[in-house]
Chain A
Amino acid sequence: MTKLTHLTLAEARDGLKSGDFSAVELTKAHIDAMEANKDLNAFITEMPELALEQAASSDAKIKSGDAGAMEGLPIGMKDLFCTEGVRTTAASKILDNFIPPYESTVSGNLKKAGAVMVGKTNLDEFAMGSANITSAFGNVKNPWSADAGKDLVPGGSSGGSAAAVAGGLCLAATGTDTGGSIRQPASFTGIVGLKPTYGRCSRWGIVAFASSLDQAGPMTKTVRDSAIMLQSMAGYDVHDSTSAPMDLPDFEAALTGDIKGLKIGIPKEYKVDGMPQEIIDLWKKGEDMLKDAGAEIVEVSLPHTKYALATYYIVAPAEASSNLARYDGVRYGHRAEGELESLDDLYCKTRGQGFGDEVQRRIMIGTYVLSAGYYDAYYAKAQKIRTLISQDFKKAYETCDVILTPTCPSAAFGIGENEDDPVKMYLNDVFTVPTSLAGLPGMSVPTGLSEGGLPLGLQLIGRPFDEETLLRTAGVLETAAAFTAKPKMLGA
């Protein structure tokens, strides 16, 4: 029998149903893997006892026929989702003692579906980063590091979730994506990452970064797993006024494998200067795979693409500076120690000690672009360009159904690289940010290996609330690419 930690979510679900193994056995196998691979630093808080308790109750439910859609399946929860009674840090010192008295809607939905939470996964502090090097709880190591012969970043900000799934420490994990934080780490670790349409999943109880962009989504081993998990995560929530009051389609049923006649858009503006040849080749290969499956390839234009990243780095920090104003050392979280002269002194010291460098940098950028005299030149200008970027996509979808692009401009890089210049690090998100600004669903599918033997993903972008077509296309791409490579550490 296949090792339990090598199963997909769908295989494990079916195995539990037919009684091949129990939820406790399945959970135990993943807890053992978690213990054996602590060097990845994928988890901030491990929850082995709670997980085994949950698994035992899942076994009882499976026996009595009351199983939920994800009953007994061990998953990781990004430590940005508030979990009742379990420490939630956002990978920040400022929240390192925070125990939420309530459950986020998405984690609650997954619990209700029967999923077993094995731990809270590491991330960039407040989800701000592209390499998982800004966490107050240390860097996360990419499971593919042994393949490269050096320590690689897993991408960010959902780097712990990506590493945990790729390394077989859980069957799937939640991520959140503000500018690429699900898709880029998925690409770096050879897994599937789906950022749903803005509004598909409730943001209630997710520690806020940039509220007009943040969206939760599944990080899984396969496209089918992605559909299964999204089904349990998504849905309207009265607590989030921006969540969409729409019924959910059956996402797994959308995986028909048939994309005949579907129009795939190739945006010419994504052929950026200096793009590595292997990325260009992979993109072309993906195009051919979809064409061979009966889709029609059309060129589309997204003329404002080159401005998306700069727009994002005004909009996101502006919203962050406002959202993070709540960390004041009064109501919860870290409070500065020592002599405090005034309330301002309490605020400044608490926040100066509690936030890391990248978070402070973004708070200051946000404060600056929102300050009197600069608001119109920066923030209002960026909001207008965001409109143009969104209109570009609308126009493109008049002639195509799904857009195909690379997920990232490179494979995973070494820990310590790209750190000299913040702008260089930001460039990682060049292909994922436009989708976020337009609120569209985007998905990274592992499609090939780099010359160095590291995974590379392609990104599919769909129409708003058309995750079905997105998943269907991703399923076809996945089958055609037949990406079966696994990191050496799995010993497969």
Chain B
Amino acid sequence: MSGEEFVPLSLTPMLIGVLAAVACALPGNFLVLRKQALIGDAISHVVLPGIVVAFLLTGMVAAAPMMLGAAGAALVSVVMIEAIRRLGNIEPGAAMGLTFTTLFATGVLLLEQSDTSTVHLDVEHALYGNLESLIWLDAIGWGSLLDPVALAGLPPELGRVVIALLGVCAFLWLFWRPLVLSTFDESFAQAMGVATNRLGVALVMVAALAAVAAFDAVGSIIVIAMFICPPSAARLMTNRLEHQVAWSVVFAVLSAVLGYVFAGYGPLWLGFGNAVSAAGMIATVSGVILAFTACFAPHRHRSGAPAV
């Protein structure tokens, strides 16, 4: 494929897909180890009510208020889950399910009741995003990467995903040690003076940041898949956390690239005319990778010592 076709049409969606996948997979490692994998599921469902409320309040479809709305909804859901869990003494899984369905229902209802049909805001978009449309029309070839005028025309989603990824990396870099400590041995971490509760909430908020930025570009289905599948597959590859994180990045990148390529060109190879959903395909590829690791990866079985 020539640069003239690839750079404007495929480079940016693929790049955004890759960055979003990595931004979600990184905090996903800790969520999976903390048995909070489904927090990612909950967060990605509540993003919809967040952007609907933001739209109703501001009356415009703009990135900034919608991102704020989504982040606000993520915060509300985390607080709500914790409150229901503690105040009602309810197991976390049920509290999560209760929270995200209620918020999602609110979002759908608001959407149906308000006059949003004219704007590009609908549930399907929220679920599968539209990665394919994030093209870079100002580009004419590889040379455009050095052309400031063309660069100014990059889709804004790219910038937001980059910022989210940097934020995620900064958080993990800064708090790596206390995160590992509190994930492995919470009471020891507390005895060391680590504020484990606050750190846990911070982790979820960082995951929410990644989810919101990724959601904007790729829809919530990728978000859930990337929070859970690459880290889970990576866990089966190694017994060291540093290596697990590295593997999860590899798997996330692989899912995004292969998923995008299969979605765009797979149907053509098979003789069909149209491309299929890239978001759905990326999630599917990540599932295939997980299936492979579950069958063949070196550390797929539990090793735990016999309980004494």
A binds B: no
